[in-house]
């Protein structure tokens, strides 16, 4: 489970086995037992969410947008 970064207690990561065939680039987020998954392309969008409030999801989405290049870079380094 490679961690990309952590901010304000939110852990941003991906799993090393992301399906077969591998799913397109995305990021998982976890904090205090709550989880979410965001697609990065074609647009940043919530794939799944458990436990986060709408306000938290908006904040997380903003963080994903601000760090999109880093997330994609880490994804490509790991899977390529």
pTM: 0.93
Length of the chain in residues, anyone?
A: 80
Is residue 4 within 8 Å of residue 70, measured between CB atoms?
A: yes
Q: In this model, does residue 58 exceed pLDDT 80?
A: yes
For residue 38, the model assigns a pLDDT of 98
> In whole numbers, what is the pLDDT of the chain averaged over residues?
94
The angle formed by the CA atoms of residues 10, 14 and 18, to the nearest 5 degrees, is 150
For residue 33, the model assigns a pLDDT of 96
Q: In this model, does residue 19 exceed pLDDT 80?
A: no
Q: In this model, does residue 48 exceed pLDDT 90?
A: yes
Total structural domains in the chain?
A: 1
């Amino acid at each position: 489970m490679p961690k990309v970064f952590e901010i304000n207690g939110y852990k941003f990561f991906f799993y090393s086995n992301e399906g077969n065939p591998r799913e397109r680039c995305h990021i998982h987020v976890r904090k205090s037992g709550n989880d979410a998954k965001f697609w990065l392309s074609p647009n940043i969008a919530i794939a799944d969410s458990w436990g986060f409030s709408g306000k938290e999801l908006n904040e997380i989405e903003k963080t994903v947008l601000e760090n999109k290049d880093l997330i994609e870079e880490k994804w490509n380094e790991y899977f390529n």
